[in-house]
Chains A and B, each alone.
Chain A
Amino acid sequence: MNYLRLNINSREIKVKPGTTVLQAAQASGTYIPTLCADPDLKPHGGCRLCIVEVKGMRNMPTACTTIVSEDMVVNTETEAVHKERRSVIDLIIADHPMDCLTCIKNQRCELQDVAAYLGITERNLPRTIKQKPIDDSNPFFTFNHNYCILCQRCTRTCDEITGVNAIEIINRGYNSKVSTFGDKPLMESICKSCGECVARCPVAALVAKNSIMPTSKIETTCPYCGVGCMMELGIRNGKIVSVEGSRSSQANNGRLCVKGRYGIADFVQHPERLVQPLLRKSNTLIETSWEEALNIVAQKLSAYSGDQIAVIASAKCTNEDNYIVQKFARSVLGTNNIDHCARL
C-alpha cells in the first residue's frame, strides 16, 4: 500500500491516497471544527468551518473536500483561519435560538462545541432569526426548524444512506428549508421514520421525543429481525431511555430502522410483557419456574418425532438462536418441518 506524507500543524502524518485533509487530521487526533461533515456521508463543504491553510493554495480550502497530496503542508490553527471560522459561527448564532440552558441538546450540541472551541463569548451580529414552524407529526421525533442550521446532514442521510429521499432542501438561499414533497408534515410523506437523520442532526432541530440523558450504556443485539443490528441502550434508573446504533458493528455500521430505534423501550418495559413462563393448570395460567417449564416441554416433545412435529421459530430471536432452533429440530427432533415467522 502506498502512503502519502503530509504535515499538519508541523506534525508529519502518513495517510492512504484519497484521504481528505479532515480525515487525516481526525486520524491524527487534530480537531478541526465542522458542522456539516459526517463520517458516513460524502463531503459537502457547506458550513465552511473546516477551512484550513494549505501551503501553495490561494484561498482557504475546506478540509472536508480537499484530498491530501504528497508533502502537503496544512495549518489548521492560524489566526486568519480562526477569524474566518468565527465570522461563520457569528452568522449561525445570529440565526439560531439562544436558549442553550433550556435546550434538549444542551451539552450534546455540536454547535455549542464549535462555538466553545472558537472562544465565542458574545453575539456579534444583529439577529436574523424568524419564528419558524415545528413539525410534530411524527410519533418518534420532532422537527423544530428554528434550530435547523441547514447543514444538510439529514437530507444527505435520507439520500445517501437510506435511499428514501423523503426529505430534501426546498426553496433556496435564506428561504431554504428541510422539507418533504409539497412541504407537508413528515407523517404525510414517504418518511419511514428510521431516525437516521435524527441520529446525525448536530443541533436540536431533529430530536427524538421523550429523550433524556442516560447514565450508563449497554450494548446488545436488536431483537426485531435476523439482521442482528447492534445497538447501545442508554439506561437510567434501570430503564431504557435511549437507543443508538453501534458504530462498531459490521452488521449495521451504526444504523437502525424504525423498529430498533424507536420500538425497543416500549415493549421491553411493557407491564404486560411475559418475563416468567406460565403453566396452564385447570384452565388458569400460573407463573412457574424455568426449570419446571422446560421439563414439561421436554417431556411432551419426546412423545413425538419425525413428521409428527413441526417447529416455528421467531424473527425476534437472533440469527444464532434461530440456528440452534433448526439444529435442535433436525438432529434432536428429527424433523425437517421448520418455518420462521420473519414477517414482522
Chain B
Amino acid sequence: MNSAFTREINSILSDFSQERGNLIPILQHVQEKFGYLPEEAIQAIADFLHVSSSTVYSVSTFYTQFKLTPLGEEVVKICRGTACHVRGGPTLQRDIERRLSIKPGETTKDMKYSLETVACVGACALAPVMIVNNRVYGKMTPKKVAELFNGKN
C-alpha cells in the first residue's frame, strides 16, 4: 500500500469517530474519493472501527451503491422504476446494452463505460430515464440515445 493512499484513507477516517454506526458513511466517503472500495481501504476501515474485514466486506456487498471494482469513466445508469418500465425502459436498456456490448454491472474493456440499473431515481414524470455521471436524461428515445452516445464518441 503506498503512502499517498494511506494518507487519503486516513484523512477520510479522521473525520469520523470510531463508532460502528459510521461504517456506511465512511464507505460512502471512500467510494466518493476512489470511485470504488479498494481492498486495502476495507481493511483500513475495519481496523479503524475494530470490526473484522469480513464484516466490512459483508456490509459493502449488501448495498448496491458500493462497488468493489473500479468503474468506467462514464457511469451509465438506467432507471428500472415502474414508470420507466411501462414507458419503454426495457427497450432503452436493450439499446444501450447493445451499443456498449455490456450488461448491467459490467464495465467496457477500455474502462470507458460502466452500465448499471438503478431502482427508481424519482424522476418518473420524465420516464424513461437514464443517468450518465449523475446527470439525469429524461424522456429517452432510441434517437436521443444515439445522439447522446454518438456525440460522445
Interface positions of A (Cβ within 8 A of B) = 164-172, 179-183, 189-190
Given A164-B52, A167-B54, the answer on whether A181 and B42 have CB atoms closer than 8 Å is yes
30 A-B contact pairs sorted by A residue (CB < 8 Å): A164-B52, A165-B51, A165-B54, A165-B55, A166-B52, A166-B54, A167-B54, A168-B52, A168-B55, A168-B57, A168-B58, A170-B57, A170-B58, A170-B61, A171-B62, A172-B61, A172-B62, A179-B54, A180-B54, A180-B57, A181-B39, A181-B43, A181-B52, A181-B53, A181-B54, A182-B39, A182-B57, A183-B57, A189-B54, A190-B53
Residues from chain A with a CB closer than 8 A to the CB of B42 are 181
Residues from chain B with a CB closer than 8 A to the CB of A180 are 54, 57
Interface positions of B (Cβ within 8 A of A) = 39, 42-43, 51-58, 61-62
Which residue of A has the minimal Cβ distance to B63? A172
Further pairs besides A166-B54, A168-B57, A190-B53: 8, Cβ < 8 Å? A165-B54, A166-B52, A168-B54, A171-B62, A180-B54, A181-B39, A181-B54, A182-B57
How far apart sit A168 and B56, CA to CA, in the bound complex (Å)?
Answer: 9
How far apart sit A180 and B39, CA to CA, in the bound complex (Å)?
Answer: 12
Residues from chain B with a CB closer than 8 A to the CB of A189 are 54
Residues from chain B with a CB closer than 8 A to the CB of A168 are 52, 54-55, 57-58
Residues from chain A with a CB closer than 8 A to the CB of B55 are 165, 168
Chain B nearest CB: distance from A102 CB in Å?
Answer: 32
Q: Is the interface of A mostly helix, strand, loop or mixed?
A: loop
How far apart sit A179 and B57, CA to CA, in the bound complex (Å)?
Answer: 10
Q: Is the interface of B mostly helix, strand, loop or mixed?
A: helix
Contact A171 B61 (CB under 8 A): yes
How far apart sit A169 and B52, CA to CA, in the bound complex (Å)?
Answer: 13
Chain A nearest CB: distance from B116 CB in Å?
Answer: 16
Which residue of B has the minimal Cβ distance to A191? B54
Residues from chain B with a CB closer than 8 A to the CB of A165 are 51-52, 54-55
Residues from chain B with a CB closer than 8 A to the CB of A172 are 61-62
Residues from chain A with a CB closer than 8 A to the CB of B39 are 181-182
Residues from chain A with a CB closer than 8 A to the CB of B51 are 165
Chain B nearest CB: distance from A259 CB in Å?
Answer: 22
Which residue of B has the minimal Cβ distance to A189? B54
Chain A nearest CB: distance from B45 CB in Å?
Answer: 11
Contact A190 B54 (CB under 8 A): yes
How far apart sit A168 and B62, CA to CA, in the bound complex (Å)?
Answer: 11
Residues from chain A with a CB closer than 8 A to the CB of B62 are 171-172
How far apart sit A282 and B102, CA to CA, in the bound complex (Å)?
Answer: 80
Nearest 5 A/B pairs, CB to CB = A168-B58, A165-B52, A181-B53, A181-B54, A170-B61
How far apart sit A244 and B131, CA to CA, in the bound complex (Å)?
Answer: 56
How far apart sit A298 and B81, CA to CA, in the bound complex (Å)?
Answer: 87
How far apart sit A183 and B53, CA to CA, in the bound complex (Å)?
Answer: 11
Residues from chain B with a CB closer than 8 A to the CB of A179 are 54
How far apart sit A165 and B61, CA to CA, in the bound complex (Å)?
Answer: 16
Residues from chain A with a CB closer than 8 A to the CB of B54 are 165-168, 179-181, 189-190
Contact B57 A181 (CB under 8 A): yes
How far apart sit A171 and B54, CA to CA, in the bound complex (Å)?
Answer: 12
How far apart sit A164 and B42, CA to CA, in the bound complex (Å)?
Answer: 17
Chain A nearest CB: distance from B58 CB in Å?
Answer: 4
Which residue of A has the minimal Cβ distance to B39? A182
How far apart sit A180 and B53, CA to CA, in the bound complex (Å)?
Answer: 8
How far apart sit A85 and B93, CA to CA, in the bound complex (Å)?
Answer: 39
How far apart sit A165 and B52, CA to CA, in the bound complex (Å)?
Answer: 6
How far apart sit A150 and B51, CA to CA, in the bound complex (Å)?
Answer: 22
Chain A nearest CB: distance from B132 CB in Å?
Answer: 26
Chain A nearest CB: distance from B3 CB in Å?
Answer: 23
How far apart sit A280 and B55, CA to CA, in the bound complex (Å)?
Answer: 56
How far apart sit A15 and B53, CA to CA, in the bound complex (Å)?
Answer: 41
How far apart sit A167 and B43, CA to CA, in the bound complex (Å)?
Answer: 15
